[in-house]
Amino acid sequence: MQAAGLAWRANRTDTAVTIGLNLLAGVFTAFGLLATTGVLTALLSGGPTPARVRDALPSLVLVAGAVALRAGLQAVAGWAQARLEPQVERLVELRLFEATTAVHLTALDDSDFLDDLQRAQSRGMMAAPRVVQHAVDVLTGTVGMVAAALTLGVLHPLLLPLLLLTAVPEGWASVRSARLQYFTLLTLVGVVRRKWILSDLMSERRHAAEIRSFTMRPFLLHEYDRFAAYQRAVQLDLARRQTVARVTGDVLKGLATALVYIALGLMLWRGAVPLAVAGTAVLAIRTGQQSLVNLVFAVNQCYEEGLYFGDYLTFCDAAEARIPARARLLEAERAKRRPLPDDFARIQVQDVTFTYPGSESPSLRGISLEVNKGEVVALVGENGSGKTTLARVMAGLYDPDAGSVLWDDVSLTDVPPEDAWKRVAVIAQEYTHWPMTARQNITMGRAEKHPDTDEDPAVLAAARAAGADEVVAGLARGYDTLLDRRFEGGAELSGGQWQRLAVARGFYRNAPLLICDEPTAALDARAEHLLFERIRTHADGRTVLLITHRLASVRFADRIYVLEHGRVTEQGDHDTLIAQKGLYAELYNLQAAAYGATPPNPREAA
Ligand SMILES: Nc1ncnc2c1ncn2[C@@H]1O[C@H](COP(=O)(O)OP(=O)(O)OP(=O)(O)O)[C@@H](O)[C@H]1O
């Protein structure tokens, strides 16, 4: 049913043609078989051979016509079916990626979700066009079977159950084999995912240097082989059990077929059926059995692919349920809610708590802070203290478990997430090296709003502000250079050059809140100085949330929040915090000491 619905949504005409013509072809199969009785009756009657052949001719013409028509109908149906498959494929791929790109970010931190995603993507998605194809094959097989069965029923009522008897063993064997295969794959999902990750590590260019310099080859190969050996053992066991099922099915089918022919022989011997009818019955049985073989195969395939397709459907349902409901608000519902202000006077984080899925302890514990329009606010703290997590909550990427983030008086969890994302630019600590042109790496899918030319002033301004203009000047095709060596003509950038592009990306997005999460880790001293100067001057009037370990650069911030184990432990401007002689003062003085100025460590002094 799901397959039919999918095919219908993919293309109604092709679906209707496929189903309609297959049914019609079945009618002609039955018609052809019945006409065969006429041919045989004429040929087996008394009289001279030429006369018998002449008598058989009208029925023969009917048989030939039925066969030709059936072949024509099936050819057109096959064409419609072949057209359906790519259309179905497109639908299922779109549905999956629409869900994976919209699910809550926390879903992608959930290992069960990732396992299900892998099953749906690697096997389930592929199964969809196959399910449609096999569903049509089931229909074709059923129609052929019904045609043969009806013919047999018309010829003699006893012949019909005999035909069906031959179906049982093969059907059983096929279904058992498919179930064994499916459940084995199910147990192997985790192993296969680990193998994928390892194969990616061993074959991707970006890991190649590290594998060599850390001499990781034997370790990775050993790990890979460990998983591969387990997978092989499980699959060999599967092959053995499938063979047993298949052989048992074949033996039983052979016995059933022999039984059918013995029964037919007996009926002929006892005169229960005339010779011509027995001849047609043999033909109908063979046609029926052929249809049956096709049908059983198709049902089996349909069942097997259906199990994988079921995984795909279950995953899509689960993924869609993890898209925040507010992301799907209708226009009318949206209009009833208070919108997020385009700009804000104040962002307030109120008592926010957040725990990553599967984590034992919260990463944020009752955090409160505020950011006023036009301020530069800094988050500092040691590794793992929760700075990035807090920035993500403030950017609307994660929803707090408790507490809220308010833009003026509107909570981020009351508006569609895209409304928040559009108003925030993030220069992230970890960013993607997009395999696109330099311009696209700066504009990120927004290019259509700007003329896609070198003269786009916004691109040039953002690049200049980030020092990315110097990077682009060194590229063979300027902004049109593809930044991926895997493609012909692609260029490779250094870590710092990539970071300059990432910074330009943040500046290009004209958002009122700019979040800079360790924006200078890979930058050289001059580029770093330039960037902090820009941030200090509020990056063209934006409000800036700055996360950095370079404490010399946060001195100018309007307010500094110090995080420890997911809590704000100190807050104030630089001078206040230095005077407090807490963690900030300790970290600041440590860095200052490293640069030659050596004020005493306030904690030690204390
Ligand atoms: N995706 C995740 N899933 C589970 N736990 C996570 C995830 N990301 C971060 N954490 C945990 O949350 C805590 C805070 O991490 P976060 O990245 O916010 O720290 P940070 O202050 O930005 O650190 P750094 O200075 O190293 O960038 C850490 O204990 C970390 O292990």
Model confidence at 315, pLDDT cuts 50, 70, 90, reads very high
Q: How many other CB atoms are found less than 10 A from the CB of residue 355?
A: 18
In the block, which residue shows the tokens 């030939």? 64
Q: Which atom of ligand 1 is nearest to the CA of 391?
A: 18
Sheet holding 364-372, edge to edge: 364-372, 346-354, 402-407, 410-411
* Residues 6 or more apart in contact with residue 190 via CB below 8 angstroms: 115
Residue 255 CA to ligand 1 center (angstroms) comes to 66
Q: Average pLDDT in the 116-138 region? A: 84
pLDDT digits 0-9 by tens, 515-540: 999 888 777 888 788 878 777 765 66
Cα distance between residue 79 and residue 84, in whole Å? 9
Residue 549 CA to ligand 1 center (angstroms) comes to 15
State yes or no: pLDDT of 606 exceeds 50. no
Q: Phi/psi of residue 385, each to 5°?
A: -80, -15
Closest CA to 159 of 31, 287, 300: 287
Residue 515 CA to ligand 1 center (angstroms) comes to 17
Q: How many other CB atoms are found less than 10 A from the CB of residue 592?
A: 14
User: Which residue, judged by its Cα, is nearest atom 5 of ligand 1?
Assistant: 356
Closest CA to 14 of 67, 69, 91, 96: 91
Q: Classify residue 389 by its DSSP letter.
A: H
Q: Average pLDDT in the 26-38 region? A: 78
Rg (CA), the chain: 36
pLDDT digits 0-9 by tens, 545-558: 999 888 888 888 89
Please tell me the predicted confidence (pLDDT) of residue 19: 85
ipTM of the modeled complex? 0.96
Closest CA to 263 of 286, 282, 288: 282
Q: Average pLDDT in the 151-163 region? A: 77
Angle between the 125-155 and 12-44 helix axes, to the nearest 10 degrees? Answer: 30
User: Which residue, judged by its Cα, is nearest atom 30 of ligand 1?
Assistant: 384
Residue to probe by mutation, ligand 1, list 387, 551, 561, 562, most atoms within 8 Å of CB: 387
What is the 3-state composition of the chain as percent helix, strand, coil, each rounded to the nearest 5?
65, 10, 25
Residue to probe by mutation, ligand 1, list 106, 383, 388, 563, most atoms within 8 Å of CB: 388
The sign of the dihedral angle between the CA atoms of 557, 561, 562, 565 is negative
Measured between alpha carbons, how far is residue 160 from residues 139, 276, 277 in Å? 19, 17, 14
Cα distance between residue 31 and residue 73, in whole Å? 14
pLDDT digits 0-9 by tens, 222-274: 999 999 999 999 999 999 999 999 899 889 888 888 888 888 788 888 887 77
* Residues 6 or more apart in contact with residue 55 via CB below 8 angstroms: 42, 45
Residue to probe by mutation, ligand 1, list 106, 385, 427, 518, most atoms within 8 Å of CB: 385
Q: Range with the lowest mean pLDDT among 347-361, 422-436, 537-551?
A: 537-551
Residue 80 CA to ligand 1 center (angstroms) comes to 53
User: Which residue, judged by its Cα, is nearest atom 29 of ligand 1?
Assistant: 384
State yes or no: pLDDT of 65 exceeds 50. yes
User: Which residue, judged by its Cα, is nearest atom 26 of ligand 1?
Assistant: 383
